[in-house]
Amino acid sequence: MRILLIVHDYLPTFTSGTEVYTHDLAQSLSKLGHEVKIFTVEAYSKFHEDKYVERYFEDSVEVIKVHRKDMNHRVKLNDTLVNNILDKEFKDFVAEFKPELTHIQHLITMSLTFIDILKESRSKVIYTIHDLWFMCPTIRNYINGAPCLCTNEKASGTCSGLVLNESFKLENYKDPVSKFIARLKWMIQRKKRNQTFKQYLLKVDKMIVPSEFLYRRLISFLGEENKGRVVKIQHGMNIDKDFEKRKVSSDDKIKILYPSNLSISKGVADVERAFEKLEKEYDNYELILAGPHEEDSETVRFMDKLQNLNNVKYIGKYKPEERFDLFAKSDLVLIPSQWDDIYNLVLDEALVTKKFVIVTNKGAMPERVVEGENGFIYEVDSTGNNLYEAIKKILDNPLILNREAPKKWLSQKEHINEVIKVYNAE
């Protein structure tokens, strides 16, 4: 079968979760004998003339990448979904490849009108929803350490959804009348955007979501009458190795790993506040901070404070191929995300390597944690006390970490089998 995958960014320039997922999906489908191609965009490209079409192979799968010098056409809220800038290039490629099935991963920086082009070509269309873009232009309903307006209409945080190249800040509107008018304008544009997105999602044959949390959000958006269009399939882990569970004794120094793009939204303040308390009471641990950190003033402040604590080591950014070795050598993994994670790759990597985890109660993470068996779940607070209490339980009784946990992840083969069922469904 001729299968087209569409993703907003791609390897080798971008290596985040959706891009890596698309790469692994393409490789798996290719090995099954399907003819697979990938269509993507590189926005803000500095290396080619505007709308230059590059074709190259990434691990034996052909990639068609359209370079865009800027995305300044994305000014109004509805422009974040529908623009005709790339329709010609995409239509020409569809006419050339004639995909029998198209699996969309993300269309941000592209256009929902691609769905019309695909339906006109009679391609079956599957759409995996990876985040909250369908209801929020910021993707995550969380900006600068606070809920954005799509989550809480009383929020004061920046909303980059109203005008993407000029942040919309309610605090800029001093008098009540102008603030009311600005909010009303935002609400009208948001409603129009939601209507447009829903209209296009209902044109695809099936939607896939990786979690119950996202399933509930999407059904709320689409309406209960459309739940038959949505299938839940957890992402797969593309690894063949079976890891042995690392055992600890009561006298061991517990190796605690905090692997992340270290930032306020990823919980760096929670971690600092918790360990500031823990160092006064315990010495039987080593905290390892792994990953790059954001450069905003708040993140830098908490990172500086963390690195001045006892038993804390910052190793910085690590290579993707080093991650499983890093996990394997740890005893406990912290995932203190402050926003609603739709799917957390770090959590699956920790579970695959048989690590006990501590996660927040945000988003989909609690779905894969069995309290007390493979981890603890704590409620986000502003003091770090709940994270402190969760870690304290383990430092008081390290043998908790030796508990055999239920398997809460899918292999890549199991995942692909479920995806193929959706492809073949009538």
Instruction: Say whether the peptide bond before residue 12 is cis (omega within 30 degrees of 0).
Output: yes
pLDDT category, 199, cuts 50, 70, 90? very high
The Cα 351–Cα 368 span in angstroms is 9
pLDDT at 166 > cutoff 50: no
Task: Please report the domains of the chain, with CATH numbers, ordered by start residue.
Answer: 2-137+189-238+412-424 (3.40.50.2000), 254-408 (3.40.50.2000)
Q: Are 114 and 89 in contact (CB under 8 A)?
A: no
Other C-beta atoms closer than 10 Å to the C-beta of 239 total 15
> Would you state the pLDDT for residue 75?
47
Please report, for residues 11, 150, 276, 307, 362, the alpha-carbon distance to residue 270 in angstroms, rounded to integers and kept in the order given.
33, 24, 10, 14, 14
Per-residue pLDDT at 324: 87
With cut-offs at 50, 70 and 90, classify the pLDDT of residue 364: very high
Count of C-beta atoms within a 10 Å radius of residue 295: 9
Which range has the top average pLDDT, 80-89, 245-254, 257-266, 318-327?
245-254
The residue-averaged pLDDT of 243-269 equals: 92
The pLDDT of residue 167 is 42
* Neighbour tally for 175: CB within 10 Å: 8
pLDDT reading at 98 higher than 90 = yes
284 or 74, which is more confident? 284
Q: Are 10 and 122 in contact (CB under 8 A)?
A: no
Q: Which amino acid is at 340?
A: D
Show the tokens assigned to 327. 């996990």
pTM of the model: 0.87
Q: What is the mean pLDDT of the chain?
A: 87
Provide, rounded to the nearest whole percent, the portion of the chain with pLDDT above 90: 61
Q: Pick the residue with more confidence: 156 or 18? A: 18
